[in-house]
Chain A
């Protein structure tokens, strides 16, 4: 047990106030007995130092990982190892979360015990991509941590130029709007591509995110190379009596707030009856969100597959764009897997180092990309056709 916690007047300011404090969390871990406590205590010290210096004290990179894997561990070193020896190596271990982030307490407690024994007692629940993050592993502890994890039935997630840990919204487990089994698909894809996840062989990272409906609770359209967003093709299901109840509830103004906000103006309300021109509904979810008891997605359900979103690095931020307007999402998800593999083949061969799929498509051209992976160009893929006449006509003889 650490005799005395590091003196941290600056960050102690962040113990105050009603919102839960991360400083309090680090201190809880610093009070643990054994090495975990010592390490968390030095983390407090480093952080206090950063708050005084207004600069981070971490270095990155290098060769660090478990045998055989190229992903799952991210090297982190402190630049003040003499002052803070217990966090000189303080690597990140990414542990692949179960789909939908559901846990039983027995398994969570086991993870806690492991991280008290081998680590720092500090975690992120969860990291940005979805993994359980164990923060601060020493190099020599990596193999023991991995052995204990696999014994508990867990494995590492992705990092580097590989398939990153896929994630999913809770979907059918707890949401009436799920248009396919997000957790099932996420688990299946994760298991199928274990090799691609652990042994980086791509130009850069490749993320999958599974959202059950166009509300996109996992931000797949912005945060994944392959965004699989649930949707439906037939009519919205409606319970007219429940619609009337909402209309009378005073919760909102049916005309202004629901009908008036439909992006395609395909709804009408005569004061009694709600009508939807389903042919023109773009499945935005607005009316369903407003009246969950009265409206529901149709019965012919599947997903829209979009491709290519990313953060700004390197060539600017992108949102995903439509590849397949509607795909039935049934196990074993062969169509989705074939599409992913066709993309990897092409991008793997011609992509530049650190070039995400979205950037790759922009560089080689969408039409060219579609031709290579064997998809036909369709109007659903664009907002509008081109407005410039600079067309690269293919001039060879037509057959």
Chain B
């Protein structure tokens, strides 16, 4: 594999940042977008899961709940305006 977990995590983060305040993204929205971007060969569901875990465990992103579970920027994140 030439795509690294960090790269996928970064791409996910960019997407979350872009949609911040516009649309809430679910774990699956992120995975689907990454698989499309990098290709199933390079980046499968399991790999996406790891990247999401990296974003959450590092505190750069967090889970939120509004009727469903989403992955968002923490309120105190510099990227959250």
Write the residues of chain A forming the contact surface with B, with a CB cutoff of 8 angstroms. 61-63, 65, 67-71, 74-75, 159-162, 195, 199-204, 348-349, 353-354
Q: How far is the CA of A109 from the CA of B57 in the complex (A)?
A: 32
A63–B28 contact, CB under 8 A?
A: no
Write the residues of chain B forming the contact surface with A, with a CB cutoff of 8 angstroms. 26-28, 32, 49, 52-53, 56-57, 59, 62-69, 71-72, 74-75
B69–A162 contact, CB under 8 A?
A: yes
Q: Which residues of chain B come closer than 8 Å to A159, judged between CB atoms? A: 65
Q: How far is the CA of A67 from the CA of B75 in the complex (A)?
A: 14
Residue of B49, B59, B64, B68 touching A67 (CB-CB under 8 A): B59
B72–A70 contact, CB under 8 A?
A: no
Residue of B26, B27, B63, B66 touching A69 (CB-CB under 8 A): B63
Closest 9 CB pairs of A and B: A70-B63, A200-B69, A160-B69, A201-B27, A161-B69, A63-B64, A160-B65, A68-B57, A61-B66
Q: Which residues of chain A come closer than 8 Å to B66, judged between CB atoms? A: 61-62
Q: How far is the CA of A61 from the CA of B75 in the complex (A)?
A: 14
Q: Which residues of chain B come closer than 8 Å to A75, judged between CB atoms? A: 65
Q: How far is the CA of A348 from the CA of B32 in the complex (A)?
A: 11
A63-B63, A67-B57, A203-B68 given; name 12 further pairs at CB < 8 Å.
Answer: A68-B57, A70-B69, A70-B71, A71-B63, A160-B65, A199-B27, A199-B49, A199-B52, A199-B56, A201-B27, A204-B68, A348-B28
Residue of B32, B63, B68 touching A353 (CB-CB under 8 A): B68
CB nearest to B59 among chain A residues: A67
A71–B28 contact, CB under 8 A?
A: no
